[in-house]
Chain A
Amino acid sequence: MHLLYGFDLQLNDGKSPFQRTFVNQVKRCAEMSRKLRFFKDQIHKAGLVPSPNPASEPDVELEELEIQLAEHEHELIEMNSNSEKLRQTYNELLEFKMVLQKAGDFLVSSGNHAVAQETELSENVYSNDSYADSASLLEEEMQPGPSNQSGVRFISGIICKSKVLRFERTLFRATRGNMLFNQAPADDQIIDPASNEMVEKTVFVVFFSGEQARTKILKICESFGANCYPVPEDLTKRSQIIREVLSRSSDLEATLEAGLRHRDTALNTIGFYLSKWTNMVRREKAVYDVLNMLNFDVTKKCLVGEGWCPIFAKTRIQESLQRATFDCSSQVGIIFHVMDAVESPPTYFRTNHFTNAYQEIVDAYGVAKYQEANPAVYTIITFPFLFAVMFGDWGHGICLLLGALVLIVREKKLSSQKLDSFMEMLFGGRYLLLLMSLFSIYCGLIYNEFFSVPFHIFGHSAYKCRDATCSDAYSVGLVKYRDAYPFGVDPSWRGSRSELPFLNSLKMKMSILFGVVQMNLGIILSYFNARYFGNSLDIKYQFVPQMIFLNSLFGYLSLLIIIKWCTGSQADLYHVMIYMFLSPFEDLRDNKLFWGQSVLQVILLLSAVIAVPWMLFPKPFILKRLHTERFQGRTYGILGTSDMYNEEEPDSARHPHLDEFNFSEVFVHQMIHAIEFVLGAVSNTASYLRLWALSLAHSELSTVFYEKVLLLAWGYDNIVIRLIGLAVFAFATAFILLMMESLSAFLHALRLHWVEFQNKFYNGDGYKFKPFSFALLTDDDD
């Protein structure tokens, strides 16, 4: 990586966002994108689908676009508020019409009892011009001093159907029962303006007497959100008002329609350009954000930027800069200058579709330090392999393979679509899934499990009955009469009583062996890291004692396991390992596996004991000695006024600093590292036993579903029960075994990599190289 003027930028980190030069432009872009979001919302609410205009128009300038967007927004807002008002008026008219229609029935029936002719005006009277007639009619009937009159008056109105019961009860209580409440459901539904959905309403008429009752009732109406409308008692007046209301509401309807059409046309025209405008604004905003990271040098009238670029891209960058100068016909060229850097460069691994998923899962734990060994190289194979050790069933492996193949075959189509987050993760890991399934098929063949059923693919079993009657097969067992089954676990084990003891022993030892091998690989990678960075101290005082410690204990255990398998000895390995520590000089008797075992054990024990202070003590002292040698005579600090610093830009990445050597800190750090390794050797080895645990769980679940669901259902002759059994088996396999167990095995294999493998060598404290790219601009705003 070179530090240079130009790319992944860091110069203005110190300044606040408001001091930077292009902050106004960024604000304008943000405002424009807000307007665009508003348009998109409106288009969506109107139920239109924006169809992009296929004909490519010439690009608009940003300032022109700003003005256009402002105009459109203003127009849309105005149209919206107008149609709101109209709609409200229309609603009220509708309600009035319903009240007139229904209340008329009540009044006809009540008008037959000789009641007083006064009608009451309610508060919500319309003062529109078209009501001039009706208003004058109603005014005529207003008697002076109606409060003194007794006699039955009424209030008519409309209320939501859900509130009618409570309304009636409240009215009853408020007027102490001195009222008559008539209600009838309205014929049509009306849009409730508050919730914007259709509600059912009920028309009501309340007959009461007295002024106090009137005020109470009106107040209650208001609190319940009931709208009161005046209904004249006289039949002719009523029909006249109904006619007026009908005509006015049809006018309004036409107006509303016209308004809606007008708005839809406007939205459609906006919709043509919407995606183009959104893209443009997004790109401009990104460009201004990047420009903000550059330093604007007022005296030299230029923009200065520092950044990183990969070495292989240098010539391409120089060419592009020349082309840019030419294209915008500027007089001054762009200067591209390589500098030395003190701080660590970013890490950049070039990946393709296949390796990208693995690099992502390694980076999720920590991005590699600049130029340290990349564990992803081994992870590509060992991660799916450890997954498969925990998942091993070649039937399930085939299902996973089919899924992976579907994703890979439809790669082009799926990569252009926008997927939801679960599918996106699954699609991103399609090659991961492919390898996982291939290794699962392999491990399934080795464990000899096809949906938990063993097959005799690789020849006959190695076991048979002792005699023809198989009489003691249930008590003493079969006998091994040939060589071991050539590939995988012998099929005779499945279903036997001693299956679990055998498989458990096999899988536990297998886990330990895999664990020791992977940890050794990790330590060897730390050797290569130390060699690359020229750190011989780490090799001599960290790599060597670590190898000695791990292998004299757990490498020796692996050796014992293999010897026990090869010789068929009955030695108890727990006993051997524990007494190696407790009483190393005691005679081994039954636990002797090979000649010279006691002597070897003592030697290994001593090496392990020596290795611990070897990795703890020498390194801090040697570091201290090296530091005092290097900085002898430099204890007064560096003079910072040499000429080469005069032309420095103020915020350059080169800050000369003097390392303070804090011995206690280094010593404690080394101690922590040593203790972590020593204790970790035991705990990490035991951690690999999860390979055994999960494969046991998978196998047992699979057996249960097969025997207790499928075979049980198949035992009946009834076709319905068989189908149900098959369906339950399929669902259980798909959801529990394929999805849940996959996730579980994925997680545990990942943990084994991140912790047990990587903590032997990985620093993971780097940062990623993130070059600016239009293609990577995400739809953050949407």
Chain B
Amino acid sequence: MGFLVTTLIFIVVGIIASLCARICCNRGPSANLLHLTLIITATVCCWMMWAIVYLAQMKPLIVPILNETE
């Protein structure tokens, strides 16, 4: 699955999570904003982590060279 597709999946998961948070724990505007911030931050962090590792492996400059003992 390509880069863009998985990015879209992350975005969708983030949106679903914020909707769930809004539905399940709707506790006043300040708490709602906090929950939204948390979910967006978490989504961005997780996406960045995945994207970095994915991009680094797209066109690698070196390949695995097996060890003699294996």
Contact = CB atoms under 8 A, between A and B. Distances in A.
Interface of A: 377-378, 380-382, 385, 389, 442-443, 446-447, 462-463, 470, 473-480, 483-490, 492-493, 495-499, 501-502, 505-506, 509-510, 513-514, 517, 562, 565-568, 570
Given A443-B49, A446-B50, 5 more contacts: A380-B41, A381-B41, A463-B64, A478-B63, A502-B60
B62 A502 contact: yes
B46 A489 contact: no
Interface in B37-59: 37-38, 41-42, 45-46, 48-50, 52-59
Nearest to B33: A377
Contacts of A380: 38, 41
A702 B69 CA distance: 19
> Which one of A474, A475, A565 has the highest number of Cβ atoms from chain B below 10 Å of its Cβ?
A565
B49 A473 contact: no
Nearest to B54: A484
Contacts of B2: 483
B55 to A, nearest CB: 4
A699 B36 CA distance: 34
Question: Which 5 residue pairs are nearest across A and B when measured between Cβ atoms?
Answer: A568-B59, A496-B64, A477-B65, A484-B57, A477-B63
Contacts of A447: 53
A496 B49 contact: no
Contacts of B4: none
A504 to B, nearest CB: 11
A498 B62 contact: yes
B65 A484 contact: no
Contacts of B56: 505-506, 509-510, 565
24 contacts: A377-B37, A380-B38, A381-B38, A382-B41, A385-B45, A385-B49, A442-B49, A473-B65, A477-B64, A480-B60, A480-B63, A484-B58, A487-B50, A495-B66, A496-B67, A497-B67, A498-B65, A499-B64, A501-B62, A502-B64, A510-B49, A565-B56, A565-B58, A566-B55
B63 to A, nearest CB: 4
B53 A489 contact: yes
A513 B1 CA distance: 24
Nearest to B59: A568
A378 B44 CA distance: 12
Contacts of B34: 377
B23 interface: no
Contacts of B62: 477, 498, 501-502
B33 to A, nearest CB: 9
Size bin of chain B's contact surface: 20 to 34
Interface of B: 1-2, 6, 34, 37-38, 41-42, 45-46, 48-50, 52-68, 70
A565 B70 contact: no
> Which one of B6, B54, B57, B70 has the highest number of Cβ atoms from chain A below 10 Å of its Cβ?
B57
Nearest to A496: B64
Contacts of B1: 486
> Which one of A463, A479, A483 has the highest number of Cβ atoms from chain B below 10 Å of its Cβ?
A483
A512 to B, nearest CB: 10
Contacts of B6: 486-487
B64 A493 contact: yes
B63 A475 contact: no
B38 A462 contact: no
A476 B60 contact: no
Nearest to B58: A484
Nearest to B57: A484
A130 B15 CA distance: 98
A562 B48 CA distance: 12
B68 A378 contact: no
Given A381-B45, A443-B49, A479 B63 contact: yes
A666 to B, nearest CB: 35
A712 to B, nearest CB: 13
> Which one of B37, B56, B61 has the highest number of Cβ atoms from chain A below 10 Å of its Cβ?
B56
A382 B41 CA distance: 8
Contacts of B70: 495
Contact of A498 (B55, B59, B64): B64
A599 B55 CA distance: 26
Contacts of B45: 381-382, 385
A227 B58 CA distance: 92
B41 A478 contact: no
Contacts of A490: 57, 64
